[in-house]
C-alpha cells in the first residue's frame, strides 16, 4: 500500500471511492467542486496493486486571524477495504503533509470514536466554534505546532464549496 498525492489521472477513481464509501454523491461532488475551484488543497490516495482504495482531502478553513488551518473532509475507503488500516495510513500521512505545508492545526467534523486516536479533541475545549450546528463531540481539532490552539479561537468556516449541512 502506498499513500501518495492525487494526480489528474486519479479523478475518476477518487469519485468512485467516494461513491462507494458514502450513501450519496454529496462527497464525490464536493471533491470535484473543490478541485474545480482551484483552492490549494491536500489530496492523497491509497494505492495498492495499481488500484486506488482510499482517499483523503484537506482544504483551507478561514478563521478570524490569518492562521493557516486545514479542514479534513471528506475521507473515504472503499467498502471492501475498510477496517484494514487504510484510513489510519491516510490520516497519518495527511496530517504530516499538512504540517509540512505549514498548517497550525487541522479540524474535522466526524466520528467521535475514530479521530481521537490521532490526537483530535473537541474543538469547543479551545473556544473554537463550528459554522454548523452539530454536537460538540463531532467537531474536533488537532494542533500541528506546539501551542497552536492558543492562537485560534472563534468561528471556523469551510470553503464555500461545502454544502450547507
Ligand atoms: C471512516 C473510514 C474512512 C475509516 O477507514 P478504515 O480504513 O476503515 O479505517 P482503519 O482500518 O484505519 O480503522 C478502523 C477503525 O475505524 C473504526 N471505524 C471505521 N468506520 C467507522 C465509523 N463509521 N464510525 C466509527 N468508527 C469507525 C473502526 O471501528 C476501527 O476501529 P478499531 O481499529 O478500534 O476496530 C471508512 O470506514 C469509511 O470510508 N467510511 C465511510 C465514509 C466515512 O464515514 N468517512 C468519514 C467521514 S467523517
Q: What does the pLDDT look like over 73-91, one tens digit per residue?
A: 999 999 999 999 999 999 9
Nearest CA to ligand 1 atom 37: 82
Burial (CB < 10 A; 0-12, 13-18, 19+), residue 138, is middle
Q: What is the pLDDT of residue 65?
A: 78
77 C-alpha to center of ligand 1: Å? 8
Region 121-143: mean pLDDT is 94
Comparing C-alpha atoms, which of 87, 93, 67, 71 is closest to residue 152?
Answer: 67
Q: What is the pLDDT of residue 68?
A: 93
79 C-alpha to center of ligand 1: Å? 10
Q: SS3 for 158?
A: coil
- H-run or E-run covering 59: strand 51-61
82 C-alpha to center of ligand 1: Å? 7
Domains of the chain by range and CATH? 2-156 (3.40.630.30)
Within 6 Å (CB) of ligand 1, which residues are found?
21-22, 74-77, 82-88, 110-111, 113-114
Does the pLDDT value for residue 164 go beyond 70? no
Q: What is the pLDDT of residue 165?
A: 57
Asked whether the beta carbons of 53 and 59 are under 8 A apart, the reply is: no
Does the pLDDT value for residue 94 go beyond 60? yes
Tell me, what DSSP letter sits at residue 163? P
Rounded Cα distance, 106 and 141, in Å: 6
pLDDT > 70 fraction of the chain, expressed in percent and rounded: 99
Q: SS3 for 153?
A: coil
Q: What is the pLDDT of residue 66?
A: 80
Region 114-137: mean pLDDT is 94
pLDDT tens column, 12-52: 999 999 999 999 999 999 999 999 999 999 999 999 998 99
Does the pLDDT value for residue 8 go beyond 80? yes
Nearest CA to ligand 1 atom 24: 111
Region 47-60: mean pLDDT is 96
Rounded Cα distance, 39 and 19, in Å: 22
Confidence of residue 67 (pLDDT cuts 50, 70, 90): confident
Comparing C-alpha atoms, which of 79, 96, 91 is closest to residue 140?
Answer: 91
Region 141-153: mean pLDDT is 92
Q: What is the mean pLDDT of the chain?
A: 95
Mutate to test the pocket of ligand 1, among 16, 26, 114 (most ligand atoms within 8 A of CB): 114
Rounded Cα distance, 135 and 124, in Å: 10
Amino acid at each position: 500500500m502506498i499513500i501518495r498525492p492525487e494526480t489528474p489521472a486519479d479523478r475518476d477513481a477518487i469519485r468512485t471511492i467516494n461513491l462507494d464509501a458514502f450513501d450519496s454523491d454529496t462527497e464525490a461532488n464536493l471533491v470535484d467542486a473543490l478541485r474545480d475551484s482551484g483552492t490549494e488543497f491536500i489530496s492523497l490516495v491509497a494505492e495498492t496493486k495499481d488500484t486506488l482504495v482510499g482517499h483523503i482531502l484537506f482544504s483551507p478553513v478561514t478563521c478570524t486571524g490569518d492562521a493557516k488551518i486545514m479542514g479534513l473532509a471528506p475521507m473515504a475507503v472503499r467498502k471492501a477495504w475498510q477496517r484494514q488500516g487504510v484510513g489510519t495510513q491516510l490520516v497519518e500521512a495527511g496530517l504530516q503533509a499538512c504540517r509540512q505545508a505549514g498548517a497550525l492545526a487541522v479540524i474535522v467534523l466526524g466520528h467521535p470514536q475514530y479521530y481521537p486516536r490521532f490526537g483530535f479533541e473537541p474543538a469547543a475545549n479551545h473556544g473554537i466554534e463550528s459554522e454548523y450546528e452539530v454536537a460538540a463531540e463531532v467537531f474536533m481539532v488537532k494542533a500541528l505546532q506546539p501551542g497552536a490552539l492558543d492562537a485560534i479561537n472563534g468561528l471556523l468556516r469551510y470553503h464555500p464549496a461545502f454544502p450547507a449541512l
